[in-house]
Each structure stands twice: as structure tokens, then as C-alpha cells.
Structure 1
Amino acid sequence: MAEQTHYEFSAIEAKDVIATHERGWEGFTQFVTYGVVAVVVLLLALLLFVA
């Protein structure tokens, strides 16, 4: 069994990397925003129904 010792890498444009990171950051911030809103709603519901 022969081991592979040479790898072919394709050229990556900086704009492609930046676009990917921007989409990831936007998804993360949207997730955090909805998570914070959900926690606040849960805490308000607990305040209303438990207290």
C-alpha cells in the first residue's frame, strides 16, 4: 500500500474566505440574539407564573 506524499491544493480567493466568515458570523450573531430573547421570555414567564 503506497502512502500519499503529495497534495494538490486549489487556489483560494481572499474574497471567498471573507464571504464565508461573514456568513458564519451573521449566523452566529443571529443565533445568539434569538437565544438571548428566548432566555428573557422564559425568565419573564417564570416571573409571571411562579412568583
Structure 2
Amino acid sequence: MAQQTTEIELIPVTAQDIMGERKAMYGAFVASIPWAIGATVAVLVGIYLFWG
């Protein structure tokens, strides 16, 4: 059976490298909050109207 070698190059990661990705992720999270609140309210109102 042939041997398989794995080489991983580790490069130093700085805050500047990941800051753009983190800001984009945070922006998407904050933008989803009103949608989540609206969906929750819609479900609760639907439950109230259906079983209320």
C-alpha cells in the first residue's frame, strides 16, 4: 500500500486578514434580526388567530 503524505502550510493570520469577513458576517446577522422577529410575530399571530 502506498504511503500518503500530507503537507500543510501554516501562515500567520492577522486581524487585518479576517476583519472584512467578520464584518460581513456581523452585517448579515444584524440584517437577519428584523426578519426573524417578523417571522416570530407572524407565527404567534397565526397561532392566536387559528387556536385563539
Calculate the TM-score normalised by the size of structure 1: 0.57
Match of 1:31 in 2: 32
How far has the Cα of 1:19 moved from its partner? 1.8
Residue identity over aligned pairs, in percent, reads: 20
One-letter amino acid of the structure 1 residue matched with residue 30 of structure 2: T
5 Å-filtered alignment, 1:10-49, equals: 10=11, 14-49=15-50
**Greater CA drift, 8-17 or 33-42:** 8-17
One-letter amino acid of the structure 1 residue matched with residue 47 of structure 2: L
- The gaps in structure 2 that reach 5 residues or longer are 1-7
How far has the Cα of 1:14 moved from its partner? 4.9
Q: 3-state SS of the aligned residue for 1:19?
A: helix
Deviation >6 Å, runs of 4+ = none
